[in-house]
Chain A
Amino acid sequence: MAALQGSTLDAINSNQEQLLEQWIASLEANGATRNLKEQVLKQETREFLQLLSEGLQSGSGNSLAGAGWDAVRRFLEKLSSTRAQLGHDSHQTVYFIFALKGPLFALLQAHYRDDPATLAEQLWLISELLDSMGMHTIRTYQASRETVIRRQQEELLELSTPVVKLWDGVLALPLIGTLDSQRSQTVMESLLQRIVDTGSEIAIIDITGVPTVDTLVAQHLLKTVTAIRLMGADCIISGIRPQIAQTIVHLGLDLGTLTTKANLSDALKLALTRVGGDLGQRV
């Protein structure tokens, strides 16, 4: 594979100002400068061009993995994380790199006017280099977004399983949001642990906030109820909305062993009669 020629590098270095001007114009035209101060943008573009020419000079070839590109990689990583914080989407972030292509290609075209073969070769090399930089940027951008999503998911998981004590011996668990396997596992564990800790005999699971009940959710509910029964407590499911009742019946789900109530107050009434009167009941 042919390397970038020194002459290309010279052309870039001697025309920096012109490149910067066109680059910024292209960025502005495409809305990739939203929320960015002009000063910051100028500084960023200048720094990147400087790093780019240093990278080209280091002779690490046009693969971004080379040691000569360390500074460029670090710059791009910083860039994508600041862009993510500013609320730029992936397109706007990566356009920072791709907007340089136009001015750069025009420059090279003028520079190699008399030598089409070299022009094609140099254009290809530069293009490949800029593409891999774009890819690197988008990868870091995505990774930083994913970290945020993962953290939020974990927080949500912890927040979403509050077990509340309604009465002596009566616990309630208001469920809000979709039940997936991982969440129902957390729900089950925390509820069972609270039953042991408080010695409660009745647990009410309120599913008013669960948008849909499919076979999987019903399966999870049944498992939780069975586990509660095995521990010697009783479980009431409340807050079953009419639509959900219809879905359950249409799906042919068998909730025969479950005690179900339309709303939380009915469930609490039943729980109180059980706790107050007959302490043990056949399960």
Chain B
Amino acid sequence: MERIPILQMGEFLLVTIQVDMHDQLALTLQEDLTERISRISARGVLIDISALDMVDSFIGRMIASISGLSRILDAETMVVGMQPAVAITLVELGLTLPGVSTALNVERGMQVLRQRLERT
């Protein structure tokens, strides 16, 4: 079965979405990710969606729920690299993703995650 790879970088997990997200793939990712977070006690999750150029409400909701899940497992979620078209679509769909942290690219996202971790 098709899966989205989850890479580990120290205390952080890095997920790069490079294929078209369909619903089953999104659900699998959600399961895999929660399982990995709890296994390695990750402190932060970075989701890079810069290659994603199409979203629907389901994917939007999935991003929000991954963020919620990770917070419960004490891992900070960062969504990075969202394309303008995707951002406009999400706003028009009314999915403003409150509580989800965002950054322009992986580098900045990682920087912010590290800073937050130092503070706590």
Q: Which residues of A contact B (CB under 8 A)?
A: 188-189, 192-193, 195-196, 199-201, 223, 226-233, 278-280, 282-283
Residues of A within 8 A of B61 (CB): none
Contact between chains at B108 and A232 (CB < 8 Å) = yes
> What residue in chain B is nearest A282 (Cβ atoms)?
B101
The verdict on B116 contacting chain A, using a C-beta distance below 8 Å, is: yes
Could you pull out 7 A-B pairs where Cβ atoms are within 8 angstroms? A193-B84, A196-B83, A196-B104, A201-B104, A229-B96, A229-B102, A283-B101
Q: Restricting to B88-110, which residues have a CB under 8 Å from any CB of A? A: 88, 90-92, 96-97, 101-105, 108-109
Residues of B within 8 A of A189 (CB): 84, 88
Residues of B within 8 A of A200 (CB): 104
Residues of A within 8 A of B112 (CB): 279-280
Residues of B within 8 A of A223 (CB): 91-92
Instruction: Choose from B92, B96, B101, B104 the contact partner of A231 (Cβ within 8 Å).
Output: B104
Which bracket fits the contact residues of B?
20 to 34
Instruction: Choose from A227, A229, A280 the contact partner of B116 (Cβ within 8 Å).
Output: A280
Contact between chains at A232 and B102 (CB < 8 Å) = yes
Q: How far is the CA of A280 from the CA of B84 in the complex (A)?
A: 20
Residue interface bits B60-93, CB-to-A below 8 A is 1, else 0: 0000000000000000000111111011101110
Contact between chains at B108 and A231 (CB < 8 Å) = no
Instruction: Choose from A193, A195, A230 the contact partner of B97 (Cβ within 8 Å).
Output: A230
Contact between chains at B91 and A232 (CB < 8 Å) = no
Contact between chains at A232 and B80 (CB < 8 Å) = yes
Instruction: Choose from A188, A199, A231, A283 the contact partner of B82 (Cβ within 8 Å).
Output: A231
> What residue in chain B is nearest A189 (Cβ atoms)?
B84
Given contacts A282-B101, A283-B101, contact A232 B88 (CB under 8 A): no
B46 → chain A, closest Cβ, in Å?
A: 11
> What residue in chain A is nearest B84 (Cβ atoms)?
A192
Residues of B within 8 A of A279 (CB): 108, 111-112, 115
